[in-house]
């Protein structure tokens, strides 16, 4: 269990790191070019590591449901939406929404037993946990703002009302 927790923590840090890198690449090129570059370099890295670790078993796909092959196409949507979300919302706000969405859909898929997952009974505590996270995001985004305070990232000169 400890190994699983450590791997999940590592995955979370890598997603955040990758999202920042993707955002920086997107500053120099378009979103589709960024998505292509990210997925292509990911393909090369995972292919080479797979050959080193699994050898010829890399190409063993028997008993796989055909729709699971769509995973790579789903990855296109993930990278593109993350890049756009970060551009429009900033990294922390975008990632917190992404993680909440991910947790919400994981709860739905687990509870329903969809896509070949073992069905895990729904509990109101699980829903409450997701709602607490949503409340935290709302507090994070809007909790420190008032009429006299502007967003510190706004570097544009203030306009004065015309008389």
pTM of structure: 0.72
Interatomic CA distance for residues 145 and 49, integer angstroms? 47
Band (69; pLDDT cuts 50, 70, 90): confident
Q: Quick: pLDDT tens for 118-131.
A: 999 999 999 999 89
State the pLDDT at residue 160: 43
Percent of the chain with pLDDT over 70: 88
Which residue, 78, 120, 128, 69, is CA-closest to 99?
78
Band (37; pLDDT cuts 50, 70, 90): very high
Residue 82: other Cβ atoms inside 10 A = 24
State the pLDDT at residue 99: 85
State the pLDDT at residue 148: 52
State the pLDDT at residue 128: 94
**DSSP string computed for 83-149:** HHHHHHH-HHHHHHHHHHHHHHHHHHHHHHTGGGPPP----HHHHHHHHHHHHHHHHHHHTT--TT-
Q: Quick: pLDDT tens for 13-35.
A: 998 888 889 888 999 999 899 99
């Amino acid at each position: 269990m400890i190994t699983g927790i450590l791997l999940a923590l590592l995955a979370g840090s890598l997603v955040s790191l990758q999202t920042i890198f993707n955002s920086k690449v997107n500053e120099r090129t378009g979103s589709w070019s960024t998505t292509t570059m990210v997925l292509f370099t990911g393909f090369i890295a995972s292919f080479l590591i797979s050959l080193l670790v699994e050898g010829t078993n890399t190409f063993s796909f028997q008993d796989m449901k055909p729709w699971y092959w769509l995973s790579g196409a789903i990855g296109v949507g993930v990278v593109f939406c993350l890049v756009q979300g970060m551009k429009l919302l900033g990294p922390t706000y975008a990632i917190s929404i992404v993680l909440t969405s991910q947790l919400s859909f994981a709860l739905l898929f687990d509870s329903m037993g969809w896509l070949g997952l073992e069905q895990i009974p729904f509990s109101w505590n699980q829903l409450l946990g997701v709602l607490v996270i949503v409340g935290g995001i709302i507090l994070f985004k809007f909790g420190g703002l008032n009429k006299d305070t502007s967003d510190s990232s706004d570097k544009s000169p203030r306009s004065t009302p015309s008389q």
